[in-house]
């Protein structure tokens, strides 16, 4: 059994084949085993998972729609690079959406869902080097905050940033693992400010939390 076969996650087993292939390839991209700028072969994936090429193609089209890969005629699936500009644009979009959610929570005194505390607790108990699940839970933490205001369209808009958010976060944490401690501290501070409905403080924490790190941006391609 190859390393790639061993890495198929338990969570994906039992799902429809094309979903299983999608989750598998997505995870390998996020973990950096298919790095930006590399090509993924249909045959490699179909052999690793023991499936036909049809669900692999279907998974590739979904991954392209989510901007994980570019499908190039006669060349295959090219893993997209995370660029410095994409990171800056993503943080700007997140500040707009999450800032709006924070303002509504504080002004309307909306209680924080219990789930946000549960997600934070899971984050605190993850092994230090488990970047993949850390990024997944971090995205969930912020989504629960946005969803708390009850605006379905806003929640869907935030969800649409998911692929970029995960790739940028994995790139940033791999570039600078020391960010984990600071991120955890800011999560706790943000929850405390929201629980007190302190809009000014919560927005200041978010601004700091989503501030592009020069050391990370400088290492990304233009």
Whole-model pTM: value is: 0.82
Q: Chain-centre distance of CA 88, in angstroms?
A: 15
- Sign of the C-alpha dihedral, residues 35, 84, 176, 210? negative
Specify the residue for token string 């708390």: 148
Indicate the CATH number of 84-217 among 1.20.120.530, 3.40.1180.10, 3.40.50.300, 3.40.50.1220.
1.20.120.530
In the chain, where does the domain assigned CATH 1.10.10.10 lie? 3-79
Question: How would you write the pLDDT of the chain (222 residues) with one tens digit per residue?
Answer: 344 444 444 445 568 899 999 999 999 998 889 988 899 999 999 999 999 999 999 999 999 998 899 999 888 899 988 888 888 888 999 999 999 999 999 999 999 999 999 999 999 999 988 999 999 999 999 999 999 999 999 999 999 998 888 888 888 888 888 889 999 999 999 999 999 999 999 999 999 999 877 666 766 676
154 Cβ neighbours under 8 A, 6+ residues apart: 97, 100, 101, 146
Residues of the chain with CATH 1.20.120.530: 84-217
CATH class of 3-79: mainly alpha
């Amino acid at each position: 059994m190859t390393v790639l076969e061993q890495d198929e996650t338990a969570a994906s087993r039992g799902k429809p084949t094309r979903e299983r292939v999608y989750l598998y390839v997505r995870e390998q991209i996020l973990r950096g085993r298919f790095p930006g700028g590399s090509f993924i072969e249909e045959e490699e994936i179909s052999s690793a998972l023991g499936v036909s090429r049809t669900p692999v193609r279907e998974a590739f089209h979904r991954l392209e729609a989510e901007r994980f890969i570019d499908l190039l005629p006669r060349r295959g699936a090219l893993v997209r690079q995370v660029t410095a500009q994409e990171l800056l644009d993503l943080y700007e979009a997140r500040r707009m959406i999450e800032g709006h959610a924070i303002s509504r929570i504080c002004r309307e005194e909306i209680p924080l869902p219990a789930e946000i505390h549960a997600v934070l607790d899971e984050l605190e108990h993850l092994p230090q080097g488990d970047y993949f699940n850390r990024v997944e839970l971090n995205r969930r933490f912020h989504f629960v905050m946005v969803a708390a205001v009850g605006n379905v369209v806003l929640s869907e808009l935030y969800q649409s940033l998911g692929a970029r958010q995960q790739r940028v976060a994995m790139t940033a944490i791999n570039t600078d693992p020391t960010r984990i401690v600071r991120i955890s501290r800011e999560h706790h501070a943000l929850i405390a400010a929201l629980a007190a409905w302190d809009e000014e403080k919560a927005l200041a924490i978010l601004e700091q939390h989503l501030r592009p790190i020069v050391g990370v941006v400088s290492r990304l391609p233009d």
